[in-house]
Structure 1
Amino acid sequence: MSLSVKELTGGYSRIPVLKNISFEIEDGELVGLIGLNGAGKSTTIKHVMGLLKPFEGDIRLDGQTVDEAPDTYRKKIGFIPETPLLYEELTLREHIEITALAYDIKKDEAFKRAELLLQLFRLTDRLDWFPSDFSKGMKQKVMILCAFITEPSLYIIDEPFVGLDPLAIRDLIQLIEEKKNNGASILMSTHVLANAERICDRFLIIDEGKIYAQGTLNELHQQFNMPNATLDEMYATLADKEGFMQ
C-alpha cells in the first residue's frame, strides 16, 4: 500500500477543516479527489504532502510518516500544482537541474528521464527559455515534466488539465496511465469530471470536510442511489444540496 490516511482531522490554526477522514491509495491506483470549492480538497493535499500537521490521525506513505523521515517522505511525492510555480530567473534546463538536486538524482539521469517528456510536450528546443517566454500551458508542461522525472511513489496532481490544450491533455492522460501501470500511486484533484470518470480507478468525494462517498463508479452509483448516472450528475447533487451550482 502506498498511501494510508486514517482518521485525519486537520486544517489551519486549530480550526478543523477536515473531520475524521480515512482513505487509502494502493500501488498502481489512480484515485480522483472530487468536491465543491471549499470542501477540503486542497487541505487534504497539504496534509498528505506534510505541509500541514494533523490535529489528529495518521498519514503514512510507504509505511512512513513525515515526522519519522521528513526528507525521505517528501522525496516520495511528485506534485503538480494547479498554478505553475516556476523560478523566473531559471531556464527550463535549470529547472530540470534544480529538481534533480532536490531529489538526489544525478544530472545525467535526470536529463535521460526528461528526454521523452521534452519530446512528448514539444519542449526539446526550448531548454534555454525562461518562464517569461512560456505561455501558461507551457509553464504547466514544465511543472508536469519536473514532477514526472522524479519517479516518486505517489503523484499528487491538482487540476492538471487547466491551461492545457487538447493535445497536451491527451499526452498527460497517456503519461498518467503509463505511470500507474508501472506501479505508481496517483491522487488527482479535478473538476474536469468527464476525464476523471474515464481514467480514475476509484473516487474520493469530500463534502464539508468529511468523506461523503468513496469507491468505484459502480459503488458510487449505489451510494448515491443513482444507477447509470455520470460523475457529473452525481456531483450536481452535492451542489443542489448546498443550494447552489458551482
Structure 2
Amino acid sequence: MNNTPVLQITGLSGGYSLNKPVLHDVGLQVQPGEMVGLIGLNGAGKSTTMKHILGLMSPHKGDITVLGKTRAADPGAYHGALSFVPESPLLYEEMTVREHVEFTARSYGVERSDYESRSLQLAKLFRMEDKMDTLSSHLSKGMKQKVMIMCAFVARPALYVIDEPFLGLDPLGIRSLLDFMLELKNSGASILLSSHILSTIENYCDRFIVLHQGKVIAEGSLAEIAAASKRPGQSLEQLFYELVQGGE
C-alpha cells in the first residue's frame, strides 16, 4: 500500500476568531484505503476541522494537504480529490434528485457512462429509484440526506469527508451507507467520518481520532487506544466516555 497520506494535517490551529481559536495544534492523517473516525463531544472541533479541510475556513497556522497538494497551490486538484457529505442536507428546491446527481457528476468530470451506471447503483442501494424525478422540496429529511450521499458518491475522489451522515436515515439506509463506504474503502478510497453513534462505527473504522476541546487527546485503532488507556477490551463508547471525562 502507498504510504503517502491522502489527507495530512499538521499543526492546525484555527477557528472563528484570531483571539480565540477552536483548534489547537491539531495533527492527523488518513492513509489510502483507510476509514478514520473523528469523534468528540459537541464543540470539540470536529466540524471546524472539516471546514478547514474544505477550505471554508483559513487556518491561523498549520498545513493541510490532500494528495500532497495544498488548496493555495493547486485549488482545482485539491478540491477535485475530495467529496463532502454535510450534517444537514443542502439542496436546490427546484431541482430533481436526478438533476442533483447529474450536476455533481458533471462538476467532477465523471464520464456519462460512469454517471449512468453509478446513479442507477446508488438509487437502488438507497431505495430512491422511484424518487429520481421528484423535486427535492417534496422529499423527507431522510431522503434529502440520501440525495447528499448519492451526490458525494457518484464521483470517485481519493478522499470522502463525511459529517454525521446517519442523522435522518432509517436503519436500512444506515446499513446501506456503511456497507457502501466499506466497499469504497476496500477499493482504495479514504474516508474521514465524524459521528456520535460510536457503537455503529466501532466495527467499520480502521482508526479513531478523539478531539476534545480542540486538541487530539487519543488516536489509533480501538485496540491501540484501549492499550494506551490501560483499558483493554472496552468498547469505543466506554473508552470515549472515560477519555473525555478525564480531559475535563
**Matched residue of 1:156: which SS?**
strand
What is the distance in 2 between the residues matched to 1:13 and 1:212?
A: 23
Does the 8 Å contact 1:36/1:238 carry over to 2? no
Does the 8 Å contact 1:34/1:41 carry over to 2? yes
Once the two structures are TM-superposed, the CA of residue 242 in structure 1 deviates from its matched residue by: 6.6
1:5 corresponds, among 9, 14, 25, to 9
**Matched residue of 1:16: which SS?**
coil
Give a deviation string over 1:6-46, Cα, whole Å, max 9, x none. 11111113131111111111000000001010010011111
1:143 to 2:145 alignment = no
Aligned to 2:25: 20
1:119 to 2:124 alignment = yes
1:40 to 2:45 alignment = yes
Does the 8 Å contact 2:100/2:151 carry over to 1? yes
Aligned to 2:97: 92
What is the distance in 1 between the residues matched to 2:228 and 2:178?
A: 27
Does the 8 Å contact 2:94/2:137 carry over to 1? no
1:129 to 2:152 alignment = no
Does the 8 Å contact 1:202/1:214 carry over to 2? yes
Q: Count how many residue pairs are aligned between Structure 1 and Structure 2.
A: 243
Give a deviation string over 1:155-175, Cα, whole Å, max 9, x none. 011111111111111111110
Once the two structures are TM-superposed, the CA of residue 149 in structure 1 deviates from its matched residue by: 0.6
RMSD over equivalenced CA pairs, Å: 1.4
Question: Share of identical aligned residues, percent?
Answer: 48
Aligned to 1:177: 182
1:152 to 2:157 alignment = yes
What is the distance in 2 between the residues matched to 1:57 and 1:194?
A: 32
**Matched residue of 2:133: which SS?**
coil
Does the 8 Å contact 1:80/1:157 carry over to 2? yes
What is the distance in 2 between the residues matched to 1:132 and 1:168?
A: 20
Aligned to 2:234: 229
Once the two structures are TM-superposed, the CA of residue 62 in structure 1 deviates from its matched residue by: 0.4
The 5-angstrom pairing of residues 176-215 of structure 1 reads 176-215=181-220
Aligned to 2:66: 61
Aligned to 1:110: 115
Does the 8 Å contact 2:212/2:244 carry over to 1? no
Give a deviation string over 1:74-114, Cα, whole Å, max 9, x none. 12111111111111011111101221232122444322221
Unmatched tracts of structure 2, length 5 or more: none
1:219 to 2:224 alignment = yes
What is the distance in 2 between the residues matched to 1:97 and 1:217?
A: 38
What is the distance in 2 between the residues matched to 1:192 and 1:229?
A: 16
**Matched residue of 1:74: which SS?**
helix
Aligned to 1:167: 172
Query: When the two structures are superposed, what TM-score results if normalisation uses the length of structure 2?
Result: 0.94
**Matched residue of 1:198: which SS?**
coil
Give a deviation string over 1:50-74, Cα, whole Å, max 9, x none. 2111111111100100001112211
